[in-house]
Amino acid sequence: METTTCPKCLGAKRFPQYANIANGDCFVCGATGRVAVARNRPTGARGAAEPVSAACALATLRVWYANARRHGAAWFADEGESGVGMGAVRWYAAQMDAATAGRVLAAFESLAAECT
């Protein structure tokens, strides 16, 4: 699993000033100095881990759909590089109600089929 430096203790593993409480071990990382990186978000969209509102997701996907139309296959092939592509589209679609998500995914999928 990919890990990153603990944001609480900054890798120090314990807090000397709290040595009277469980040896001062950092509870966030379990005194390892490392925490797992959350992977349930589009790659490249760092800092966007918080769920977005359905309206915001829809607005984002409208822009992406316009970009995908303009750039064609290159937009879909760019997945992982830019944080866009179908993986990211599905992530945003998951923030919406099922009916809207279904329409959005169908639109992107038919566009992808035209382009590739």
Query: Could you say whether residue 29 binds Zn ion (CB under 5 A)?
Result: yes
Rg of the chain, C-alpha, whole Å: 20
Q: Is 85 exposed, middle or buried (0-12, 13-18, 19+ CB in 10 A)?
A: buried
Query: Could you say whether residue 34 binds Zn ion (CB under 5 A)?
Result: no
Chosen residue from 26, 57, 88, 104 binding Zn ion by CB under 5 A: 26
Chosen residue from 9, 61, 93, 101 binding Zn ion by CB under 5 A: 9
How distant, in Å, are the alpha carbons of 24, 27, 41, 77 from that of 12?
Answer: 11, 12, 28, 41
Query: Could you say whether residue 8 binds Zn ion (CB under 5 A)?
Result: yes
CB of 9 to Zn ion, least distance (A): 3
CB of 23 to Zn ion, least distance (A): 13
Question: Could you say which DSSP state residue 101 is in?
Answer: H
Q: Which residues bind Zn ion (CB under 5 A)?
A: 6, 8-9, 26, 28-29
